[in-house]
Every structure is written in C-alpha cells, then in structure tokens.
Chains A and B, each alone.
Chain A
C-alpha cells in the first residue's frame, strides 16, 4: 500500500481523533497547548516543502509567519477589519513576501541561502524593535506603526469569545485545526504532484533537472510563494488566538525549535514535520515541570542528537523503513 491509499485513512483517523478530543474532556490547558501545536505544525509542514522537498536551505519561514501575523493585526487595528477578512489577505501578502524572498535567493545555493534568509528575518526583527517614531498619538501616548518590541494588540480576535463565551478556546482550537488540515492536504498534494517531482529533481540533481527542461527560476519562486500562503495563515491564526503579535516570533530560539521539529520528524517526508512537532511539543511540555527545570535544553538536544545519529531520515523515515521490513517479511509490497 502506498501514497494516498495509505496516507488518507491515517489522516482521517488522526483528524477524527483531534476533532473528538475536546468532547472527551481534554482540559483547557491541553486544548491551548494542542492549538499551539497546530500552529507550529502548519508552519513546519510548509517549511518542509521549501527545505525538505525542494532542498532550499531557507530560514525565512518565521519572517513569512510574522508578515501574516502583523498583516492581520494591522488590518484589525488600523482598518478595523474583521480578522476573518484579514485572514486570507494575510495569506496573500505572505505569498508576495515569500516570492520576493525566493527571487532574492535565486542566484544562491546551500549555506548562502541560509545566510541571506536569516539576514532578511533579522532585518525584519530590527525594523520592528527599533520602530519608535510616532505615526499618531492616542491622547498623549505616541504610537508607532508596529509598536516596536511591545508588539501590536487591541485589534480584536476571531470572535469566539462572543460566540462560545467561556469555551472560546474551542473555537481557536477548531480554526487552528482547520488551517493545519488544509495545509497538510496541500503539502501532500504538492509532494505527490508533478510539481513535487520537479522540486525533488532540482534538489537531488539540479544540473540534470535543468538539462531536462525543469526551470529553476519558476519552481523556486513557486515553492517559496506556495508554502508562504499557509505560513501566513498560521501567523494570522496566531495573532487572533493570542490577541497580540510581537517581534518575539522572529527570535532565533523559536526558529531553531521549529527547525528541530522538521529534523526529528524527517526532512522532506510529508508526515515528518507533524510527527516531529507533536513529539517535541510533548517533550517540551513535560520538561516544563518543576522537577525537570533546567533539563529542557539538554533534553531537546539529546533527542535531536539521537535522531540525527540513529535515525538520519527522522522518525517518519524510521517508521517507513520499519514498515518496509515488515512488508518484506510478510511478502507484501513495500510501502512508499
């Protein structure tokens, strides 16, 4: 069994379980935590398209995420738009930003792409934190465009508080799950499409791929732009769920945490980022316990090192290999 025949049933079972989970009394704390997981899983599933499938060492994903979040916040604050209206606009602006980043990286490969994209993210961070010039006054209080380090707030939310009252967090959970579901379907569709084949060809043997007529310009732009849409939506959801967005989302620690999710789960494998995000968030939550205080970085580092050494293709790769061996023993056809 391979491809959609295997992945679709698994996906539907996982989705059903996640939809049903709150009905089985999942505490509010876990609902909030799983909502954050949905957001980060959306980001890494799209980052995986650029980094894993297309093999472009981009570190701009959180900058794209921030564009989505800030767009939503500014639409809500300055134009008084409903965040529901700002949601797709944020995705589209993220696409534009992603395409620009893709263009800037076109003549670069490998570590140079990482350096340039990291520089872009850092410049964005600096532009925000040093933004102190008043664009308007609220009474005697000076307001800058992005509100600098303290970030933007008071732009509203997705209205779940009015709709569900005390259970508003269920609305956030549902929205984040919906975006993750669409993003996952999208990334599976891309990977399994001719476009995905082109991405992989350019990753594995760019010279041969180009000689066979695969346009690097076209596909690099495409992968940056397409993956940016759901990343921007994730930023928008984050801004609506937490009702604030600040430059902290551009900090290196968070970027590396998300990168670790991809590495642990399996770079380039569609299930990889989701498995990695779930595992690392679970471990991270466990290590927040007072008893483990101080062991968080060590714990995450050990997991990362163990996976790199023992499972170089990540957990998803390990599961695939195991499935193949079992299939061979059972005489069945190997999975994908």
Chain B
C-alpha cells in the first residue's frame, strides 16, 4: 500500500509520460507470451483451465460473460502459441446461486475430473472464500473478482498455504473511501457545489453493500462530510417510499446507494424524479448494465456510479469492446467479460515465464513459480494495471497514487440514457467531465 492520494496526475502529463509507457507495457505483456513461446504453435498436450461460473440463476447475466471472456482469451493465447506450445483448454461448471458447498463441489469437479491447472473466475456469490482450501489442497492457481475484504483475511491467515489464490480486483472496501475522495475532489475543484455536507447512505442487506456503506460512514468526517442517516433495505426492493420519505425530510447533499441490482436502482430513480431533492445520487455497479437505463429512461440521466473492474474507455478498451461485441453480439457486456479475459492473459504470461503450468496434486512447486511470477509482473490489462499486494490487486488512487500500479476506481455518469455511460474519473483515464445532474441544475 503506497498511501492515499488526493492529487492524481493530470491527464496531459500522464499521456506525455506514463501512458506511452503503459501502452508499451501492454504491448510488452502480449509480446512476452509470443516471445517466450519463440514462434511455437499451440500443438502440444492441452492445459485444462477451469471456471466455476453462474450459468443459471440471477447471476447468469454476469456469469455467461465471464465464460465468454475466458473463451476469448484462450483463443487469443492459443493463437500466440499457448503456453510454451501447449494450448489452453477451458472447462466450465455452473455454480448457480453460489454458497460454499456449491462452489466447492464445482471446483472439486474441475480439479478432479478435468485436471485443471488453474481456475479463472469472475465472481461467485456468497462463497465466503471457502474454496481457498480446495485450491490449496490441489496446489493450483485461482483468480477471482469476488471484490471482497474476506480475500485478504483468508490469504493473510496463511499466505504460504493460499499462495495460489488471487483476487484480481480491489476489495469492496475501497469503494467507500474512493467515493469520498472523488466527491471531495469535485467539491474542492468547484465542479460540484453540494447543497450541504450530508450523506444519506442506503445499503442493501448484503455484505458487499454493507461493507461499502460502513466504509463511507466511517471515513466521511475525514473528507468533510457527515452522515444524515444510514438505512439498510431488504433486497430485492421496488418500493422506495419509506427511504425517499427520509431523504425528503432532511435532504442530503449526496444520496449514496450501495445496493447494486439494476432494476431496483432504476425504480429508485423513477420514484425520486417526480419530487427530487438537490442531492447528487451515487449508485453501486447496477447502472453499468443496460437494464438500468432501459427501465429508468430519462429519470436516470445524471446518476453517478462506480466500478473497480471494467474495461477502460481508452484505445485498448475501445478496441476490446469492438472485438468482444463482434464475437458475442451487440447485447453482450464486455465490462463483465473483460474480468476473466484479463486474468487469463495474466496467468498465461506468468505460466509461460515460469516454464509452464503445474498439475493439481502433483507437488505445488511449479504452480508456486507461476504464482511468484504473477506477483512480480505488473500487467497492464484492459481494466488497468494489475499489481498484487497480499495477492490482491491494488486500486488507484485510494491505495496507490501511481496509476501504473493500480486498477482505477472508475467513476462513470449516465449523461444520456440512450448512450453508454461515460467515465468521469479518475484522471488520467476520464473521457468526459462530470455534469451537474439535471434535477439539481
């Protein structure tokens, strides 16, 4: 952890200096694989790679994109010669609504039956990171985007045993502090004049939402804010009357909703819009899905939201989006698929540099080498820079003020519900300025 930053680099200076280097790193990342392969074709014995993903149930929309991302990465890697001439071969198991028992069974199946050398996942629901023991027993590498502080607790409990467990995005905790940092920046640079310094927190009854809500609550004072109320709502929720009554009774400068189901959030905006308060509305993740804009229509214009893992809206990100949509259709969601796409590239490069991937239950020496390389390499993926501390990716700018070492905590705003939301922070990745929401102006 390199400390907190209130002074991120300007876009221009970064473009002059670091972006060139960043793109160089990006080119080098894919180039590393091709050069280590020394022109070999991927013709050897396949290396099985597993993924336990939500192919049914309410998480399937994301889960199927995670599958797409891994398939796309595998094709590209194999086209570059695989891992030292061995193609990678993805295998998938449905993890449905999650839970430790379901996810552990799925992983055990991938390891025992498919002989998976690595398991590359997006997020699974409510696993409580119990699957780490399955990974450790088999001595393989596992990447996921559970976005959870639990990863750090589990990993720090026994780093030697959980050497192969990587969280390829920052934990949810940083959403809270990152939001406060961003809001303070908007306020201090005059881009937004808050009606007052109050924040109303509305969390869904789920760990992810509550951790983020608590983080906002616990750090608000340091950034010059105070909490007007902290409400926990049962999910799913479509009737926001009681929450809106509290908001309207004491209008806050910011309404911070840490629940993330897009339909529920769209309903909030539909019920908020007829009688709005002069509050900036921040929401978690859900607005990134088209469903949010389809249901909310014009009422969602001006909503601010954030994610710590999605494609950047730069040259490489736009190129990825175009290729992904060409392959999986216009209605696909590259922002989800990119999670496993990036992770698979990172693992493949590390495995190639380490001399190949190890097998499960075959001693863990080779996979330890692979994990060591993953920790050493700073990989510039489509989502930003992957650099692991405690086997977890760092976030920029809350954890490090160096954008080439952290994954940007992306702030996006719905400025026109007919179009893809635009990235308004942090610099140097932002592509548009923050706009005061229409109900305030």
Contacts and interface: CB of A to CB of B under 8 A. Distances in A.
A216 B161 CA distance: 55
Nearest to A153: B128
B56 interface: yes
Contact of B93 (A126, A130, A290): A290
A321 interface: no
B98 A248 contact: yes
Interface stretch (B8-16, B109-117, B256-264, B342-350): B109-117
A253 interface: yes
Given A32-B105, A149-B126, A244-B128, A297 B56 contact: yes
B56 A296 contact: yes
Contacts of B112: 27-29
Interface string B207-230: 110100010000000000000000
Interface in A120-174: 126, 129-130, 132, 141, 148-151, 153-154, 166
Interface residues of A, number: 39
Interface in A79-137: 126, 129-130, 132
A290 B67 CA distance: 10
B99 interface: yes
A181 interface: no
A163 to B, nearest CB: 15
Contacts of B104: 32, 242
A305 interface: no
B148 A150 contact: yes
A187 B112 CA distance: 35
A29 B60 contact: no
A36 B94 contact: no
A59 to B, nearest CB: 18
Contacts of A148: 207, 210
Contacts of B97: 251, 253
B205 A27 contact: no
Interface string A24-62: 000111001100100100000000000000000000000
Contacts of B93: 288-290
Interface in B69-118: 91-94, 96-101, 104-106, 108-109, 111-113
Contacts of A150: 128, 148-150, 207
A288 B106 contact: yes
Contacts of B126: 149, 151, 246, 248
Instruction: Say whether chain A's binding surface is mostly helix, strand, loop, or mixed.
Output: helix
A36 to B, nearest CB: 5
B133 interface: yes
A32 B108 contact: yes
Contacts of B129: 153, 244
Contacts of A32: 104-105, 108
Contact of B100 (A141, A244, A253, A295): A244
A29 B128 contact: no
A126 B234 contact: yes
A271 B94 CA distance: 30
Nearest to A32: B108
Given A29-B109, A296-B96, A246 B55 contact: no
Contacts of A310: none
Given A150-B150, A166-B361, A248 B214 contact: no
B100 A248 contact: yes
Contacts of B207: 129, 148-150
A290 B130 contact: no
B108 A244 contact: no
Nearest to A152: B128
B55 A36 contact: no
Interface residues of B, number: 44
A255 to B, nearest CB: 12
Contacts of B128: 150-151, 153, 244, 246, 248
Contacts of A132: 210, 214
B433 interface: no
A190 B344 CA distance: 55
A326 interface: no
A289 B130 CA distance: 22
Q: Which of A246, A248, A251 is packed against the most chain B CB atoms within 10 Å? A: A248
A23 interface: no
A157 to B, nearest CB: 9
Given A126-B234, A130-B205, A293 B55 contact: yes
Contact of B108 (A29, A129, A297): A29
Nearest to A128: B205
A287 B210 contact: no
A126 B234 CA distance: 8
A70 to B, nearest CB: 13
A289 B92 CA distance: 7
B101 A153 contact: no
A203 to B, nearest CB: 32
A224 B68 CA distance: 48
B216 to A, nearest CB: 13
Interface string B228-264: 0000101000000000000000000000000000000
Nearest to A293: B55
B83 to A, nearest CB: 22
A107 B206 CA distance: 34
B132 to A, nearest CB: 9
B314 interface: no
Given A126-B205, A294-B56, A29 B92 contact: no
Contacts of B208: 149
A188 interface: no
B130 A244 contact: yes
A130 B232 contact: yes
A8 to B, nearest CB: 31
A290 B201 CA distance: 40
Contacts of A65: none
- Which 9 residue pairs spanning A and B have beta carbons closest together? A149-B207, A293-B55, A29-B112, A248-B126, A244-B128, A29-B108, A244-B130, A248-B99, A290-B92
6 contacts: A36-B101, A141-B153, A149-B205, A153-B154, A288-B96, A293-B56
Given A130-B210, A148-B207, 20 more contacts: A129-B207, A130-B232, A132-B214, A150-B148, A153-B128, A166-B137, A166-B361, A244-B129, A248-B125, A248-B128, A251-B99, A254-B99, A287-B94, A288-B94, A289-B94, A293-B94, A294-B56, A295-B56, A296-B94, A296-B96
Interface of A: 27-29, 32-33, 36, 39, 126, 129-130, 132, 141, 148-151, 153-154, 166, 238, 242-244, 246, 248-249, 251, 253-254, 285, 287-290, 293-297
